[in-house]
Amino acid sequence: MPETIVIQGRNIPYTRGAVSVDECVLDPQNPRIQFLIGQRAGVVSEKDLAELIWEKDPVKALGQSILQNGGVYEAIIVQRQGPKFLVREGNCRTVACRRLLEQHPNDSRFKTMPAMVFDVDLTEEDLAVLLADMHVSGKLRWDAYEQAKHVSDLFNVYGKTYEWLSNHLRLSKGKIRELLEAYQTTTEYLSLHPAPVNVKKFAVFHEMMKKKDLRERFKGDAGFKQSFHKWVSEERINDSKQIRDLPIIIANSEAVKALDQSGFEEAQKVLVRDDPSLRSDAFWAIKQATEKIKTLPADDIQDLKAGNPQKIIMMRNLYRAIEDVATLAGMKL
């Protein structure tokens, strides 16, 4: 019995059923491996596609999950292609099932998969919108790089506006801009450093795009961009969390030198030497308290003058605590 799904205001018919894994054809337009496909010259065969997909660690984990669950239960999306079915969504599950069938050739649990079967009515744009519903704003979200690429395709290939993207993906316009710029800067980096493993460095560029000062400097300062690429390519920066301290580092010439020569850890040591509060919760609290006391409101000063007992006790306790630490440390204040 045919059913319909509404995509972009159109009712598109499909049928539900089980499709044979042997009759499924992998999609060379699979958005999750387009960068990897681009690394291979010429036409990519079905076997090549399967190998590229299987190389992704999450697909191996997916295979184990399918084995433990006794088959695929979430419907894949396919389009009829003569006697075969082109897999538009679910290529990873298809490859995982093929691998399981190689290991368990007589196990019927891995021979078929539930599917939503479309005919020719599903366009590339329809599919892009449907995949966004499922893997950008839905429960089964892709990796951050894959999400950003898909948002970029919707914007640049299919002409979706910020307004449409914001409403449809339930993301703020600021978040959309952030994803688009992170994908663009990562793509530029990958053009210079095309090793497939570098896709994982998207997180570093994404974090940088969240910080206005770094984002603007990266766009406007070619020298800084070149240095940033060097830090990332040489593993001087290798974790997106490190970007949070980068504005402090680049404001300190000695820390920048340490970052350039040795990496983030050495740069952070320079910062901590100059400001212990960066690594010590206790000294962070002391620093904050010092700033607060230096700008103590007039009302609090007046209360102390008037003999407010609780406030006086707190000030005395602070004074005594500082004296005690100084005594233990053998230092003079």
- Residue 188 shares a structural domain with residue 152: yes
List, for residues 58-101, the tens digit of each pLDDT value.
899 999 999 999 999 999 999 999 999 999 999 999 999 999 99
pLDDT surpassing 80 at residue 41: no
- Residue 34 shares a structural domain with residue 109: yes
Instruction: Examine residue 43 and state whether it is found in any structural domain, yes or no.
Output: yes
What b/e sequence results for 177-201 when a residue is b if at least 16 CB atoms lie within 10 Å of its CB, and e otherwise?
ebbbbbbebbbebbeeeeeeebbeb
- Residue 285 shares a structural domain with residue 318: no
Confidence of residue 166 (pLDDT cuts 50, 70, 90): very high
Confidence (pLDDT) at 35: 74
Confidence (pLDDT) at 141: 86
In the chain, which ranges are continuous DSSP H helix?
A: 34-38, 46-54, 57-69, 91-103, 124-135, 144-156, 162-169, 173-192, 202-209, 212-220, 222-233, 246-250, 253-261, 264-274, 281-294, 298-305, 309-329
Instruction: Examine residue 322 and state whether it is found in any structural domain, yes or no.
Output: yes
Contacts of 164 (CB under 8 A, 6+ apart): none
Q: Which amino acid is at 170?
A: R
**How many angstroms separate the CA atoms of 194 and 197, rounded?**
8
- Residue 38 shares a structural domain with residue 70: yes
Host domain of residue 273: 211-290
- Given a contact cutoff of 8 angstroms between Cβ atoms, the answer to whether 131 and 150 are in contact is yes
List, for residues 108-136, the tens digit of each pLDDT value.
999 999 999 998 778 899 999 999 999 99
Q: Which amino acid is at 262?
A: S
For residue 12, the domain's CATH number is 3.90.1530
Helix 46-54 vs helix 57-69: crossing angle, to nearest 10: 90
- Residue 149 shares a structural domain with residue 250: no
- Residue 220 shares a structural domain with residue 277: yes
Confidence (pLDDT) at 43: 74
Contacts of 227 (CB under 8 A, 6+ apart): 260
- Residue 190 shares a structural domain with residue 286: no
- Given a contact cutoff of 8 angstroms between Cβ atoms, the answer to whether 215 and 209 are in contact is yes
Instruction: Examine residue 206 and state whether it is found in any structural domain, yes or no.
Output: no
CB atoms closer than 10 angstroms to residue 325: 13
Q: What are the tokens at 54?
A: 């299987």
Confidence (pLDDT) at 152: 96
pTM of the model as a whole: 0.81
DSSP string, 93-156: HHHHHHHHHHHSTT-GGGTEEEEEEE-TT--HHHHHHHHHHHHTSSSSPPPHHHHHHHHHHHHH
Instruction: Examine residue 205 and state whether it is found in any structural domain, yes or no.
Output: no
Confidence (pLDDT) at 86: 95
Averaged over 41-66, what is the pLDDT?
87
Confidence (pLDDT) at 327: 92
Instruction: Examine residue 30 and state whether it is found in any structural domain, yes or no.
Output: yes
**How many angstroms separate the CA atoms of 118 and 27, rounded?**
14
Domain count, the chain: 4
